[in-house]
Structure 1
Amino acid sequence: MSDYRGRFAPTPSGPLHFGSLVAALASFLDARRAGGEWRLRIEDIDPPRCPAGAADTILRQLEAFGLHWDGPVIWQHDRHDAYQAALEQLIARDLAYPCSCSRKQWREYSVYPGWCRNGVSEPAKPVAWRLRSDLGLRPVVWQDRLFGQQRFDPAELGDVVLKRKDGLWAYQLAVVVDDADQDISDVVRGFDLLDNTPWQRQLQHALGVPEPSYLHLPLIIGEDGQKLSKQNLAPALPEQDDAVRPLLHAALTALDQTPPQELATAPVDEQLRWAVAHWKIDRLHAEAHRQASTDAP
């Protein structure tokens, strides 16, 4: 077993769709090709967005496509204490501050203008906690494995929320704490999250945790030009073997791996053995968006 440890971390706001499959498959193949581990984390920190049964559906879908994870499933709803400890670290270093402002108040600005940085504007109101992006690591530079060198100034992106006014944890803090606690070495995910990486790098630096390597994948879009997503009612992945086989082949094709045509009807395990043995990042085209066919070959 190598030191590689990857992960797939879906939000259970609904079943997985073809875009989810492409991301999960790439992450899985990258880990298995490296002889490493592939972990599963369910990012359910926003209960109103997570209907009952959605997480169980996701687990069944992954198993139907042969994407078997290592170790126990990690659930973010169990991780409150870890997130709170990280927030307190940031507060102690003056890198996080309470904010009473609403999005409506600053809607004319492209990013939050930092009105509460030096004190809460309206102390009687509920507060969120924000990151002082102007005081942390700047600029943030990293080498994406597909898109090459990336350079951002997080202060130009604004002070991201770490904990919401309703007490729920925000994605940016939770993902950094979880990746660190799970010893994740490599993150493979969609291009839509590339511009989240500067905040995450800034938080990793502030908390003194390792910085994973990143590979951002072309985002799968539908015929209407919109990202395939649960919000856009993308069709759920099937769980029946006769429907799974051609869709797995289509996902390999969407990842530019050029699987043989005859593999489209092969059992899932056979397709995955071929895919692990032939997985190459340099086959991937560095495109922000990709329209991929989900039709059976």
Structure 2
Amino acid sequence: MTATAHYRGRFAPTPSGPLHLGSLVAALGSYLDARAAGGQWLVRIEDIDPPRCPEGTDSTILRQLEAFGLTWDEDVMWQRQRHDAYQHALEQLIDRGLAYPCSCSRKQWQAFDIYPGWCRDGVCDASQPVAWRLRSDLAQRPVGWNDRLFGEQHFDPADLGDVVLKRKDQLWAYQLAVVVDDAHQGISDIVRGVDLLDNTPWQQQLQAALQVPTPRYLHLPLVVTAGGQKLSKQNLAPALAEESRGIRRQLFQALQLLDQAPPPALVEEPPEVQLRWAIDHWSVAHLAPQPHRSAPPEP
């Protein structure tokens, strides 16, 4: 990739648990793409859902990134400190007729594939707490982009339903927060797992509605278990290694899962050596879109 001074990438984990191999692959892919472009790489802690974020997990994640040599530019951003920015964005959407309060519960509309928009013209039950939803039928549609791995993507967000922007418990929802923060941090390129690809249509609607730039997107292949399940905290994926040998081997494995074909001798090198090689040889063209199975750890 040609050096691009304005490139700004980010890794934005939810601190619901320590990083595992799948999250390492996502972090490493975004890091290498930024560094190979001569750009900046930021870290944002997406902790807008406190019940899911045990105390101290954010510090654990930052220590894990440092142990694997993934150092960031600029101060870490915590979403829990960004309430005013999200509220301002929501008020903009309300003023433009693109957000509305909704009293409906999931149980009420579970027979439908998507939320049917019952509260679009007025709250159905004023005695109930309300969430705020995006009017996906009135925001920009259809949307499309050229994903750097998965190619041309085309969606009509109205087919996906009116996504929640602020929950009934007054916590902010992911879709609004991520768009506001990417714009605030000047993110030019988003590199993340393909499991988030279908979030992009709503995010592009919000980018257009809030009149902020749309980044480039690269969705990385999914890392799955031997049984084909997504490697995730919900599936009890083990935390990353903490001792030096395990760190070297897991970093090497992550490079393999990113299809970068590192030379076998690199597995014994420390993170800084592996990363130097990986930055010099980073190639999106080598990525294969199908899910990648993670091998069991070596003894």
> Which residue type is aligned with residue 168 of structure 2?
K
User: Does 2:286 align with 1:283?
Assistant: yes
* Aligned residue identity for 2:33: D
Deviation at 1:64, TM superposition (A): 0.5
Residue 61 of structure 2 is matched in structure 1 by 58
Distance 1:239 1:80 in 2: 34
Q: Does 1:293 align with 2:295?
A: yes
Tell me the TM-score normalized by structure 1.
0.98
Moved more, 217-226 or 263-272: 217-226
Residue deviations 1:63-116 (CA, integer Å, cap 9, x gap): 010000111000000000000000000000000000000000000000000000
Q: Does residue 197 of structure 1 match 2:200? A: yes
AA paired with 1:137? Answer: Q
Q: Quick check: 1:175 aligned with 2:149? A: no
The correspondence for 2:134, drawn from 127, 131, 139, is: 131
The equivalent position to 2:73 in structure 1, one of 58, 70, 86, is 70
- Decide which of 16, 21, 41 is 2:24's aligned counterpart: 21
- 1:112-154 residue CA offsets vs partner (Å, 9 max, x unmatched): 0000000000011100000000001111010000000000000
2:114 aligned with 1:111, yes or no?
Answer: yes
What is the identity, as a one-letter code, of the residue corresponding to 1:293?
A
Is the 2:179–2:206 Cα contact (8 Å) retained in structure 1?
yes
Aligned amino acid, residue 81 of structure 1 = D
Contact 1:64 1:240 in 2 (8 A): no
Matches within 5 A, 1:27-66: 27-66=30-69
CA contact (8 A) 1:18 1:294 kept: no
Residue 88 (structure 2) pairs with residue 85 (structure 1): yes
Q: Which runs of 5+ in 2 are unaligned?
A: none
- Which amino acid is the alignment partner of residue 132 of structure 2? W
Q: Partner of 1:234 in structure 2?
A: 237
For the 8 Å contact 2:191–2:219, the answer to whether it is kept is yes
Tell whether 2:39 aligns with 1:2.
no
TM-score by length of 2: 0.98
Deviation of the 1:226 alpha carbon: 1.0
Aligned partners of 1:294, 1:65: CA distance in 2, in Å?
Answer: 19
Amino acid corresponding to residue 73 of structure 2 in structure 1: D
* 1:199-214 alignment, distance < 5 Å: 199-214=202-217
Pairwise CA distance, 1:157? 0.1
How large is the Cα RMSD of the aligned pairs?
1.0
Alignment match, 1:12: 15
Divergent runs of 4+, >2 A: 294-297
* Deviating more after overlay: 199-208 vs 233-242: 233-242
Three-state SS of the structure 1 residue aligned to 2:88 is helix
Question: Could you tell me whether the CA contact under 8 Å between 1:96 and 1:131 is conserved in 2?
Answer: yes
**Contact 2:226–2:295 (Cα < 8 Å) also in 1:** no
| Equivalent in the alignment of 2:124 | 121
Asked if 2 retains the 8 angstrom alpha-carbon contact of 1:18 and 1:236, the reply is yes
> Which residue identity does 1:292 align to in structure 2?
S
Q: Deviations over 1:241-264 (max 9, x none)?
A: 111001100000000000000000
Q: State how far apart, in whole Å, the 2-side matches of 1:155 and 1:140 are.
A: 10
Residue 145 of structure 1: aligned partner: 148
1:60–1:239 CA contact under 8 A, matched in 2: no
Q: CA deviation at 1:294?
A: 4.9
Cα deviation per residue 1:175-207 (whole Å; 9 max; x = unaligned)?
A: 000000000000000010000000000000000
Report deviation, 1:292. 2.3
Q: Which amino acid aligns with 1:57?
A: T
C-alpha distance in 2 between matches for 1:183 and 1:5 = 7
Within a 5 Å distance, the mapping from 1:149-164 to structure 2 comes to 149-164=152-167
- The equivalent residue for 1:264 is 267
Identical residues among aligned pairs (%): 68
Rounded Cα–Cα distance in structure 2 between residues aligned with 1:223 and 1:107 = 32
